Each structure stands twice: as C-alpha cells, then as structure tokens.
Structure 1
C-alpha cells in the first residue's frame, strides 16, 4: 500500500505500508481519492509541531475517500460512496461533541497528518462518525478541499464573524486556499469583497472569483487603500490568517464595532494590540480553529449546487510532493495544490 511519510524534517519518502485490517465496530475502510495540501503540511515539513510526534509520520490533513468496506453497526454508508473526512480525531463523547461543536472536543487525540498518521496513503480505517457524505455533483477533488478549506471558512465567516448580506469584508491572501473560498462565500451572500494578493498575476484571478477590489500588498499599504475605498469608515469584517505581518493593519481597517476573525499565523504567532483602539472603537477579535462537521456538510451542498467551486492550482503525484510544499512555502500558488491518490 503506497504512502507518503515524513521521515525527518524536510524529508519525505514514498513507502509501502501494510494495508489496514478489516474495519472494526463503527469503522469504515476508505480508499483515499485525493489529499489537499495546507500550511499545516508545510509546518509539519519544517518540524513545527504543536505537540510531540513520532516519525515516520504519514502526511495529509485534508482528504476525500471512497468507502471500501464498512464495519459492524455502521449505517448510512455503503461501498463506493464518496465522503469528506474530518481531520481531527475527536472523542465523540464529550459535551462539545454531543452538541456537534466538533472542533471544541475536550478529548481530541490529535490532527491527522500532524500528530497522527495522515491521509496520504491508499487505504485507512476511520470512525464512520467522522465522515461526511458528498452529494451528487461533487467529485473527489471537491470533497477533498472541504474539511479544512471550505469548512474552516464557513466556521469563520458564519459561526464566528456572523457575516451578513450587504456588509463589506477584507479577505487577506485572496490567492490562498481559504482566501479563494472566503471570496466566493462572502460574494455569494451579496457582500462587497476587498482582498489582498502578493503579485499582479493574481489580481485578475481574484476578480474572476468575485472580489470587487484587489490590492497588491507588495505595492500598496493595504490599510491605506481600504480606508480610501470605504471613505475612511472601514470594513465590517476582516478575514485574517496571515498573522503578525498584517494584524495591526487589519485592526486599522475595521469600522467602529467591526469584527476581526482569525484562524492562522503564518507570518508569526505574536503581535502587539493597541488596547485603546480595541475598546474605543468597540472592536471584536474572534479566534477560529477548524470547523464543525455541519460546516463541511453546508459547504458540500453549496458546491453541489454550483454556488462555490474548488480553485485548484495544481494536481501532483507522489514524486512532486517536495516541490509542491516548496511552492506553498513561497506562496507561489493560487488556490489549492492537490495530491491525487488514484
């Protein structure tokens, strides 16, 4: 069984592993269809783990699969069915899990591809409760980019920031995977979308997704452009995931009572906050991590209806995984890089 293992920092190897045993009670054996790469894969590749991990470690935190076999007591899933896979191994028993607040599980044992073996392997056994069936009209690539990419954005924009039709939003890094999803989901409900990109070749691509205004942050200070575009009022929501490099400017972009929602810190985990600005302007700073499985289901339905689409930069095979991670580290992508397993 083919798999991609991280054997040391910055060293990946294609290996042969034994296939999983027959699925146990409540489990499903999946044949992995596609793995979508994320910055969490880059962090793992760099050796930036949040918890102790044992190597070799199979990579891949976001994926789709086809049901190959079902274990005892599994209902609602049949062989051949396409599913999206929830990437965190939650307990399913705590209060948060019972209330379908999956990303607040009190006893989560880790994230696949980061703390636990990930999905870049031909077959894997997974608890059936962590699978979300893909509706007709969604293919393996679409289902692969839902668990982290579209699910994360659904949770950020609608559960946390409470984005409303007609509001104005600043989406940072509009060429990233979650940036392309945020542009589409915000535009779908009638928002004015301002986004930042890091090169001129990404400007028209972002506009094609629905962005009303695109700022090349390497050429212009985004906060100045945003203040001008909004006639100094500022935006209702900032979709933040860059971190230290943009955080102070993001706060300056908010209108009075505005909301900043963040899920990432790719440019650094620490920053300073102007507390006077925070309380005088009555700003709201919201942290967001992962998503609920219900967010995945919502995103899949919108994808099936043609309301949003996965934006794919490149599809790669096992032999190109190192180059793909280097491109992601250099932010030389627009949309997602996907590893095809079949």
Structure 2
C-alpha cells in the first residue's frame, strides 16, 4: 500500500509499504479514504522542536475510512461501516478514558501523525474503540472532518465555553477549517457570530456561512469594531486559535464575565495578558485540547441532518501533499484541504 512519510523538515516522500497484518481481537482494519489537513500537520512538517518522535513518520492526524476487517472481540462495527478516527491512541483504561474524556488521557502524547505514525496510508489497524461510526448516508469526506475540524470546535464552544442561544461569539480566522466550522456550529445553536478574515473574498464566503458580522483584520482593528457592533458591551465568547497576534485584542473584546476559549497558537506560544482586565471584568480563560469521541458522534449527526457542512477548499492526491501543507502554512485557503486515497 502507499503512504506519505515525513523524512526530514519539509521533506515528504510517497512510497510503498506492507499492508497491516490481520487485526488483533480488539482492533479493526480501516481502508483510509480521506485525510483532512490541519495545522498540526504543518507543525510536524516544520519539525517543531517540542515533538518527541522518530523519523520517518507517517503524517495525517484527521481521517475517515471504511472498515474492511474486524477483530474477534469487536461487536459494534462491521465490514463496510464508514468511521471517523480519533486522533490520539489513548489507553482506554484510565479514569478519563472510562468517563469518555479521552482528551485527558495520559496517552495523549501518542497523537497520530505527530508523535506516532498517522493516517496518510491506504490501510491501518486501530483499536475499535477509536473508530466512531458515521450515521448512514454521511460521506467519508464529511466524516473525515469530525475528529478535529468539527469535534474540537464543538468541545470548545459548548463543553468548555458553554455558548448559549442569544449570546454573541467572536470567531477568529473564519476562513480556516475550524473557523468555518465554528461559524456554522455557533449559528446553528442560535448565537450571533462575529468573525475575522484577511481578505474581501474570504469576507464574502464567511458571510455565506452565516456570520452576522465580518471584520477584515487587515483593514481595521477587530477589537474596535467588536466594541462598536456590541454597543461597547463586548462579546460573551471569543473563539481563539491564532495566539499572540490576536490575544490582547481578544481580551479587550470580551464582555464582563466573558469566556475566551483557545485550542491553538499558530502565531507563537507566548502572549501578554492584561491582568487588570482579567480580574476586574471577571473574565474566564479556558484552554481546550482535542475532543471527546461523543463530540465526533454529535457533529456527524449534525452533518447528516444538514445543520452544518464541511467547507472544502481543495481536494488533493497523496502525491501533492507538500503543496497542500505549503498552502495551509501560507493561509492561502478557505475551509479544508483534503487528501483522498
């Protein structure tokens, strides 16, 4: 079978490797059909120093496919099922995993495509508990965006920030994969959505997804516009994943008692926080990482009902992976870049 391996910083090769053996009793064999690219793939491609892993490394952190073989002990999955794959090889036995909070498992150091071999290959064996069945009729490309693109966002907005109908949320980078998902999920929940983008073309696309107000951050300071839109009150929730470039403005954009939830820092890892605003306005800063597998099931149900839909920028072949990573790093994208196998 074919796979895409990282051999060194920004050096990716496509080659043939052996098919996996028959699945263990608690495993399933998946024929990977679609892999959605994310910034974690870019970080791996850059060779981020904090990642402890050995090269070569198979890339791909978010994927879906079809079950083609089932271990003897697996009772909830069958050949032909379309499944989305959880992005970390969690233990399944610790208290967090038993409670359905796999993103708190100690095994989170084993992230597919970053610490251990990922999903950019034609076949893989995975523990059956990490394969989440898609609802009937949902296509595999949509299912591929459940683990990170939509699952992470649902966990951020609703499990952590507790966004409710009637509240206002500021979504940064509305043209990104998770940004486009956040606009849709927040709007479907009855929230007013303000989003930032970097071009007039992206502004039009963000508005078409349901954003009530779109701010081109290259033309005006987003925090000033947010204060005007909200009558100087500020927003109830800020959906952060940009980092230092937007952090201080995000704090200023919050209403009294507002919640900032963040899952990433694509512009750096250190930012300055106005502590006076933090305590005087009784703000809450929430870190969020990954999602529960229940989030994956929930967002696939929403996709199946037509409440939200993946936004596809480009579909690529495995051989063009490095081009997709370069475009993602340059932010030359609206929605998701997907590799189909």
**What is the TM-score normalised by the length of structure 1?**
0.99
- Is the partner of 2:245 in helix, strand or coil? coil
Within a 5 Å distance, the mapping from 1:120-199 to structure 2 comes to 120-199=120-199
Partner of 2:10: 10
- Is the partner of 1:282 in helix, strand or coil? coil
Q: Where in structure 1 are there 5+ consecutive unaligned residues?
A: none
CA distance in 2, matches of 1:50, 1:238: 27
Q: Where in structure 2 are there 5+ consecutive unaligned residues?
A: none
**What is the TM-score normalised by the length of structure 2?**
0.99
CA distance in 1, matches of 2:51, 2:314: 30
Spell out, residue by residue over 1:132-174, the C-alpha distance to the aligned partner (whole angstroms, 9 max, x if none). 1000231010000110110000100000000000100000000
**TM-aligned CA distance change 1:281 to 1:109, over 3 Å:** closer
Residues matched between the structures, number: 341
Matching of residue 256 in structure 1 with residue 264 in structure 2: no
4+ aligned runs moved over 6 Å, structure 1: none
Spell out, residue by residue over 1:175-212, the C-alpha distance to the aligned partner (whole angstroms, 9 max, x if none). 00000000000000111100000111101100010000
CA distance in 1, matches of 2:308, 2:94: 33
Partner of 1:72: 72
Shift of 1:323: 1.1
Shift of 1:272: 1.1
Partner of 1:99: 99
CA distance in 2, matches of 1:133, 1:188: 23
Within a 5 Å distance, the mapping from 1:19-98 to structure 2 comes to 19-48=19-48, 50-98=50-98
Partner of 1:232: 232
**C-alpha contact 1:69 1:79 (8 A) present in aligned 2:** yes
CA distance in 1, matches of 2:25, 2:78: 15
Shift of 1:72: 1.4
Matching of residue 202 in structure 1 with residue 202 in structure 2: yes
CA distance in 1, matches of 2:5, 2:300: 29
Shift of 1:247: 0.4
**C-alpha contact 1:83 1:131 (8 A) present in aligned 2:** yes
CA distance in 1, matches of 2:99, 2:76: 20
Partner of 2:314: 314
- Is the partner of 2:339 in helix, strand or coil? strand
Partner of 1:294: 294
CA distance in 2, matches of 1:146, 1:154: 10
CA distance in 1, matches of 2:261, 2:289: 10
